[in-house]
């Protein structure tokens, strides 16, 4: 990307994704040591109840999808979105890192946008109403298992940013 493309963009530092740092926005989905129990006669470890799925509205129901995201190429971030009627869970299927950009529920405050680097073994569950950027795969095209909400109401609100954001990672 040329410097002219990013001129005037706000720079945002990307932090490591941890449950504690991400807690205001939802849950980190990962197999944490010491947080499992054995099932299937001891042949399987179960990491139980890792996300709080939310589905509201008319005819609301969970749906399972696979999203195939193109690799992020240091483009400028220009918008955020949220889902008013349901949570949205992303779990990488290719064990590749990806970026997570979020802001608290409510009116979008661009000064509260933060960014995380998720490792290939970590998923995220965005709580209903949490602002987030659309999928930001890294390295190469990557697949994600997505648990989402279907229903009668439109469940995606997008808002353009007042200033582009350039991520530093």
Q: How many domains does the chain have?
A: 1
**How confident is the model over 118-140, as a mean pLDDT?**
97
Output the domain CATH number for residue 98.
2.60.120.480
Could you read off the pLDDT of 26-83 as tens digits, one per residue? 999 999 888 899 999 999 999 999 999 999 999 999 999 999 999 998 779 999 999 9
- β pairing state of 131-132 and 157-168: unpaired
Which pLDDT score, from 0 to 100, does residue 3 have?
Answer: 39
Distances (CA, A) of 40 to 2, 27, 29, 33, 130: 55, 26, 22, 19, 36
Per the listing, tokens 């410097």 go with 3
Helix intervals (H) in the chain: 3-6, 19-22
Which pLDDT score, from 0 to 100, does residue 2 have?
Answer: 36
Which pLDDT score, from 0 to 100, does residue 33 have?
Answer: 86
Which pLDDT score, from 0 to 100, does residue 133 have?
Answer: 97
User: Please, are residues 30 and 123 in contact by the beta-carbon 8 Å criterion?
Assistant: yes
Residue span of the structural domain in which 67 resides: 3-168
The alpha carbons of the chain give a radius of gyration, in whole angstroms, of: 17
State the pLDDT confidence band at 5, using cuts at 50, 70 and 90: low
The residues, ordered by sequence, that sit 6+ positions from 6 with a Cβ below 8 Å of its Cβ are 76, 164, 166
Output the pTM of the full model.
Answer: 0.91
Q: Is 43 exposed, middle or buried (0-12, 13-18, 19+ CB in 10 A)?
A: exposed
> Among candidates 135, 121, 136, which has minimal Cα distance to 91?
121
């Amino acid at each position: 990307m040329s410097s002219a493309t990013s001129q005037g963009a706000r720079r945002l530092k990307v932090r490591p994704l941890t449950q504690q740092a991400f807690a205001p926005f939802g849950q980190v989905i990962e197999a944490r040591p010491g947080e499992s129990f054995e099932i299937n006669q001891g042949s399987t470890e179960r990491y139980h109840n890792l996300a709080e799925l939310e589905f509201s509205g008319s005819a609301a129901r969970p749906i399972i999808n696979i999203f195939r995201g193109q690799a992020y190429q240091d483009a400028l971030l220009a918008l955020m979105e949220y889902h008013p009627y349901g949570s949205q869970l992303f779990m990488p299927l290719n064990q590749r890192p990806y970026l997570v950009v979020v802001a608290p529920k409510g009116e979008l405050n661009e000064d509260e946008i933060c960014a995380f680097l998720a490792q290939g073994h970590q998923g995220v569950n965005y709580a209903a109403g949490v602002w987030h950027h659309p999928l930001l795969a890294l390295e190469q095209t990557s697949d994600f298992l997505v648990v989402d909400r279907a229903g009668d109401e439109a469940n995606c609100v997008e808002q353009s940013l007042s200033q582009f954001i350039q991520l530093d990672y």
